[in-house]
Amino acid sequence: MPRRLLRRFAADAGSKNEDEDSTSTLALTANTSRSADSPSVTSSTGKRKRDALKPKTTTAIASQDDANVRRSSRKALKLEDEEGGQPSGRKAKRQPSKRIKGQNGTTTVEPPPGWEEVYDITAVMRRRVLAPVDTMGCEDLADRKRSPRDQRLQTLVALMLSSQTKDTVTAVAIKRMQEGLPSGFNLQSLIDVEPDELNRLIEKVGFHNNKTKFLKAVAIILRDKFDGDIPDTIDGFISLPGVGPKMAYLCMSAAWGRDEGIGVDVHVHRITNLWGWHKTSTPEQTRAELESWLPKEKWHDINHLLVGFGQTICLPVGRHCGECDLANKKLCPSAVASSPTKRRVKKEVEIKIDEDGESKPVEVEGLVVEKADIAVKIEEESKEMGNVEEVLLAGDVDTAARQDASYIFNVVHPPQANRASV
């Protein structure tokens, strides 16, 4: 290698060492200026040593009293009840029914502990609040002026229409059929009516197109196979198109007065699982579990009881656990803390012209719409006037049936005023 290249290589190496020395000197100076509680030592190459990063350990012997008092700051203290000595904030445990196998090979089902208390408290709560099923249930929609055969038919049709449909909407559809079918609501009228006309009468219910086909097919089957009446067996009901086990057991109980099974809908299936009576995934599994231990005299009442409870307090979305006696008494393992109801408010600015011709902006707090099962309550509040106007739209069942839609009502006083929405 030429001497000139060797001298250049040595010069470059020397300048690089000087830069590293200056860097390590700056790092050492900065480390020494830190607090003595967190020392950090660096090597000549600028890297920290692992031993220097380890915190200093000090040994201290705590007294027995200090050890007893010391608690984690993240855990809240459990308050003991004066009577039972149990934590007051603890929820009820899920204790489902148990299957016990005997020595002779027979299997008996032990009911969930405390189920009778839960059932009785729920019955008391149901008597306090009127639910839609109490006045618009499928059992109460048949025209009592018609013959018993026609009443049984109307009960069956009401149950078929109630699938995936609210009771208020089902009641409207049955009323329209009673008034719109030729010669009244009977089997012959159901056979003679055109499908388009029948579809128009029940257009408010869910899946009305399919249900129109089912009703026309069921009418022909009842005429040809069941002598113009509805079936009187569970197998006969299930053989009809559009009729499942839930409808079969409910119709058998409501139309014929025989309780051969429990009608389990979404409310019964959901609420009994929330109570921890069982852990099932389908209504049919829930029916089998309930029928294995629930007394037969309660088979008819439990559907009506839990449907109304699910419509008023234990809602599918937004359960009112704060109003539930089971949650207050720590009997429901699925109780949750209640949260305030969110309300939609539409703010507007109203431009009002006074006598002098000057425009004066007035802020209006819009309208708050609260949905109910039978009526819609509208409140209007004006900051300038300070008045509150309440309007209750009731009486028209068809209006109440549209409770699923969210309506925003805009009312302006006086009519001549000009508005600018914000």
Number of domain units in the chain: 3
Based on the domain organization, do 382 and 305 belong to the same domain?
Answer: no
Based on the domain organization, do 186 and 257 belong to the same domain?
Answer: yes
**Quick one: pLDDT at residue 213?**
96
Based on the domain organization, do 119 and 252 belong to the same domain?
Answer: yes
**Quick one: pLDDT at residue 78?**
42
Bridge partner list, 382 = 364
End-to-end alpha carbon distance in the chain:
84
Question: What is the signed CA dihedral for 123, 129, 130, 131, rounded to 10 degrees?
Answer: -70
Q: Is residue 60 part of a domain?
A: no
Bridge partner list, 42 = 48
Give 393's contacts (C-beta < 8 A, 6+ positions apart). Answer: 375, 376, 378, 399
Based on the domain organization, do 373 and 324 belong to the same domain?
Answer: no
Q: Which stretches does DSSP call E strand in 342-408?
A: 348-353, 359-371, 376-382, 388-393
Pairing of strands 348-353, 418-421: antiparallel
State phi, psi for 364 to the nearest 5 degrees.
Answer: -110, 135
Q: Is 225 a catalytic residue?
A: no
Give the three-state DSSP class for 99. strand
**Residue 67 above 50 pLDDT?**
no
Size of the chain in residues = 422
**Residue 343 above 90 pLDDT?**
no
Higher pLDDT, 188 or 417: 188
Based on the domain organization, do 150 and 44 belong to the same domain?
Answer: no
> Which of the following is catalytic: 47, 98, 246, 329?
246
Q: Is residue 74 part of a domain?
A: no
Percent of the chain at pLDDT exceeding 70 = 58
Q: Is residue 94 part of a domain?
A: no
Q: Is residue 298 part of a domain?
A: yes
DSSP state of 76: P
Q: Name the least confident of 310-314, 356-360, 405-409.
A: 405-409
Higher pLDDT, 283 or 404: 283
**Residue 228 above 70 pLDDT?**
yes
Based on the domain organization, do 194 and 307 belong to the same domain?
Answer: yes
**Residue 369 above 90 pLDDT?**
no
Pairing of strands 107-110, 98-101: antiparallel
State phi, psi for 320 to the nearest 5 degrees.
Answer: -90, 65
Based on the domain organization, do 296 and 383 belong to the same domain?
Answer: no
Based on the domain organization, do 47 and 175 belong to the same domain?
Answer: no
Exposure of 111 in the CB half-sphere (CA atoms within 13 A): 13
Which tens digits make up the pLDDT trace of 111-157?
A: 999 999 999 999 999 999 899 999 998 989 999 999 999 999 999 99
How far apart are alpha carbons 115 and 109 in whole angstroms? 14
Q: Is residue 61 part of a domain?
A: no
Higher pLDDT, 119 or 99: 119
Based on the domain organization, do 322 and 353 belong to the same domain?
Answer: no
The whole domain housing 46 covers 3-53
Based on the domain organization, do 310 and 379 belong to the same domain?
Answer: no
Q: Name the least confident of 81-90, 251-260, 359-368, 404-413.
A: 404-413
Based on the domain organization, do 289 and 384 belong to the same domain?
Answer: no
**Residue 362 above 90 pLDDT?**
no
How far apart are alpha carbons 416 and 178 in whole angstroms? 46
